[in-house]
Amino acid sequence: MADIPVWSAENLNLSIGRQIIFDNASVAVMEGERLALVGRNGSGKSTLLKIIAGMEKPASGDIHIRNGLRIAFMNQDVDFVTTKNIREVLREGLEYFAGLLDDYGKVSQNSPEHSAIEHILNSCNAWNLENKLDAALDKLDLKRLENTPFAKLSGGEKRRVVLGRAIISEPDLLLLDEPTNHLDVATIGYIEDYLKNFRGACLLVTHDRFFLDRIADRIIELENGKFFSCVGSYADFLAAKAEARRAEDLETSRREKFLRREIEWVRRSPKARLKRNMGRIKRFDELSAIQAPVRQGDSELVIPEPERLGNKVVDVKNLSLAFGERKIFDNFNFEFNSTHKIGIIGANGVGKTTLLKMLTGELQPDSGNIKIAETVRFNYIDQRRLELDEDKSVYDEVAGGVDVIPLGREQISVRAYLKRFLFEDERINGKVKYLSGGEKARLLLAKVLKRGGNFLILDEPTNDLDLPTLRVLEEALAEYNSTLIVVSHDRYFLNRVCNHIIAFEEVVPGVTVPLSTPGDYDYFLSVRQRLIDAARGNVPEESKRVKAAPVEKKSVPAKSPVRKLSYREQQELLNMEQNIADAEAALEAIEARFSEPDFFVKNAKSMPQFEAELAAARTKVDQLYARWEELEAIISAQ
């Protein structure tokens, strides 16, 4: 990374109402660096990106831009109006190269301009723009949708298109505002790989800490109008920030001690007013005018105490569902218990939200059943469908006509509740439409969590939340003593919160099935291939073939004599239900150990032994069921 700025600003100033966005702030983006911008929701992160992109201007400040700098910006808001289809929107990112190709055919072959254009086209592999476009469509899994109008896409699909348009332009400075929101792990992995090899500079705003740590080589924070910079990972940034605050606190303490001494001196000594002591009084005035650093407190996310659940909460048996010829579920079985904190992961459109809708009764399966305990009270909000009333105040949006919110056996005022989510009086009284995207996400979370419930379902709860709010949300969910389902692509969040993973994986081309395992996301990754291999063996052969081979007609063999159960097999069948119940109880006991919050920390070295024990218990249950079916089939054939 070269220490040459491609874009820099000094003495930036900007205020919106009473809120100070920049206060004589200075910031620079260096050539070739990967810079992550963090800060509270509403602190001004998106505003800075828009200023760099030339979409907004500060009230004052000196901005320096390298000559010829090309900037591409992926805005957080992807809902713009256009009649173009996906391919046409993506092609907008190739306008620069299209212009170069046009100029290349017009300028003299012996001119320096001709050589410069040729060098750019070679280095960016931009001689065939349609091939470049096809490659981007494939990488972003948009090829099958390329002729679809942009206006008809889902939020996640629109985000992929806008991201692709920015990336395909190969700018000198790439600005990404929350690029991973609503994207699946595979697409996020593609962005990570692209940015690692990207030759230009990149400034990104993200809450995804895995993504941040893998990409960023410097982190800057915007807080109270000033920038704080740290080279290194997010952990390095937190350590440096803590040290900076400790130094600030020490300096504030020293200043306060000095001021107390000086106040005593001024009060007791008339000589203080003599001319020779005016310098001392001036220093006192200067130090007393310095304000202590303004600190933003952490939010205290409040989840009402859940009502007690029994051991069995929701029992899913042989769940099957298809949309047309596409199978979403095929004999899916799972038993949710009161200790489960389940992370559901998978590509967009594979059936994650469909599963949630079937659990809550919003959608009925084609076959199978879902048995829900009488004590279960769902709190499920699909955040992509829940809307906030832009013209209401923040207070009214959460209050819903009441002034207090019940939290277990206690009650709290709406205003106090909102302050725990870091909304100050000015924001509480203001209208929703004036909030930033992140503040709206925090308001939505406050609105969701106040509903209580003892089976909490959160669909993409981390989108648009700032990193400090994410940390306290993780802590609140980790302490939540009831059943939890989280649909998320945030790998760090899944590791902090979940003790079980359900992953939708494509086990053979065109066949996606939900695979489950106890443990966090890292543990799932370690056993992922084994789970896929095991599931692949259960996929019907006809689903694995592109076209089945013709079956030769064979003569029907003569009927074999009817087989009867032996005495030993009769006794085996008589005891089978009890044997299965005992085997399932043993399996539940092992899975319960895996669900303990600190299990993977305490038993890291013994994991192969525990995995083998778990696999053996599952195999025993499967074998008993298979044997039961075999014996029952013999009786049925008699």
CB 173 within 8 A of CB 201: yes
Of the pLDDT bands very low, low, confident and very high (cuts 50, 70, 90), residue 557 is: very low
Region of poorest pLDDT, from 8-22, 298-312, 342-356, 446-460? 298-312
pLDDT at 22 over 90: yes
At CB < 8 A and 24+ separation, what contacts does 523-526 make? 523/600, 524/345
- pLDDT score of 63: 95
Task: Give the pLDDT confidence of 269-296 residue by residue, as tens digits.
Answer: 555 455 545 555 566 566 555 555 555 5
pTM: 0.67
Phi/psi for 378 (5° steps) reads -75, 145
Q: Which residues make Cβ contacts (< 8 Å) with residue 636, sequence separation at least 6?
A: none
Q: Encoding tokens for residue 544?
A: 């694995």
Of 98, 157, 101, 107, the residue nearest 133 (C-alpha):
98
- pLDDT score of 60: 94
Average pLDDT for 20-25: 92
Q: How far apart are CA 466 and CA 626, in angstroms?
A: 50
573 vs 52, more confident: 52
Q: How far apart are CA 252 and CA 155, in angstroms?
A: 47
- pLDDT score of 556: 42
Average pLDDT for 592-621: 73
Average pLDDT for 571-596: 79
Of the pLDDT bands very low, low, confident and very high (cuts 50, 70, 90), residue 1 is: very low
* Beta strand pairing call for 218-223 and 226-231: antiparallel
Q: Which residues make Cβ contacts (< 8 Å) with residue 246, sequence separation at least 6?
A: none
Task: Give the pLDDT confidence of 503-529 residue by residue, as tens digits.
Answer: 988 877 777 888 888 888 888 888 888
Average pLDDT across the chain, whole number: 82
pLDDT at 484 over 90: yes
Task: Check residue 149 and report its DSSP letter.
Answer: B
Q: How far apart are CA 275 and CA 282, in angstroms?
A: 11
For the beta carbon of residue 453, count every other beta carbon within 10 angstroms.
19
Q: Encoding tokens for residue 556?
A: 């029907």
Phi/psi for 599 (5° steps) reads -60, -45
Tokens 């299990």 belong to: 599
- pLDDT score of 317: 92
At CB < 8 A and 24+ separation, what contacts does 73-77 make? 73/49, 73/166, 73/175, 73/177, 74/162, 74/163, 74/165, 74/166, 74/174, 74/175, 74/176, 74/177, 74/179, 75/50, 75/162, 75/177, 76/46, 76/177, 76/178, 76/181, 76/205, 76/437, 76/464, 77/437
- pLDDT score of 141: 81
264 vs 625, more confident: 625
Q: How far apart are CA 325 and CA 363, in angstroms?
A: 18
Task: Give the pLDDT confidence of 112-144 residue by residue, as tens digits.
Answer: 888 999 988 888 888 999 999 998 888 888 888
Q: Which residues make Cβ contacts (< 8 Å) with residue 587, sequence separation at least 6?
A: 614, 617, 618, 620, 621
For the beta carbon of residue 387, count every other beta carbon within 10 angstroms.
8
Of 310, 302, 336, the residue nearest 419 (C-alpha):
302
Q: From residue 315, how far is each of 332, 359, 372, 530 by CA, in Å?
A: 11, 10, 7, 25
CB 483 within 8 A of CB 336: yes
pLDDT at 263 over 90: no
Quick one: what percent of the chain has pLDDT higher than 70? 84
- pLDDT score of 162: 92
Of the pLDDT bands very low, low, confident and very high (cuts 50, 70, 90), residue 540 is: low
Q: How far apart are CA 39 and CA 18, in angstroms?
A: 18
29 vs 620, more confident: 29
Q: From residue 371, how far is each of 317, 332, 366 by CA, in Å?
A: 8, 14, 15
Average pLDDT for 341-360: 87
Tokens 């690029």 belong to: 179
Average pLDDT for 340-346: 92
pLDDT at 438 over 80: no
Tokens 């960016």 belong to: 124
Q: From residue 52, how far is each of 28, 46, 424, 427, 592 by CA, in Å?
A: 10, 10, 29, 27, 52
Of the pLDDT bands very low, low, confident and very high (cuts 50, 70, 90), residue 633 is: confident
Task: Give the pLDDT confidence of 79-117 residue by residue, as tens digits.
Answer: 788 899 999 999 999 999 999 999 988 888 888 888 999
- What are the beta bridge partners of residue 371? 315
Average pLDDT for 338-347: 90
pLDDT at 57 over 80: yes
Q: From residue 632, how far is each of 241, 629, 638 by CA, in Å?
A: 68, 5, 10
- pLDDT score of 9: 95
Average pLDDT for 30-45: 89
Quick one: what percent of the chain has pLDDT higher than 90? 26
Q: How far apart are CA 175 and CA 44, in angstroms?
A: 15
Of the pLDDT bands very low, low, confident and very high (cuts 50, 70, 90), residue 598 is: low
**Per-position DSSP letters for 45-70, written without gaps between them:** HHHHHHHHTTS---SEEEEEE-TT--
**Per-position DSSP letters for 446-515, written without gaps between them:** HHHHTT--SEEEEESTTTT--HHHHHHHHHHHHT--SEEEEE---HHHHHHH-SEEEEEEEEETTEEEEE
Which residues in 545-569 are b (16+ Cβ under 10 Å) and which e?
A: eeeeeeeeeeeeeeeeeeeeeeeee
Q: Is 600 helix (H, G, I), strand (E, B) or coil?
A: helix
Identity of the highest mean pLDDT range in 210-214, 245-249, 274-278, 565-569: 210-214
Region of poorest pLDDT, from 221-225, 452-456, 517-521, 557-561? 557-561
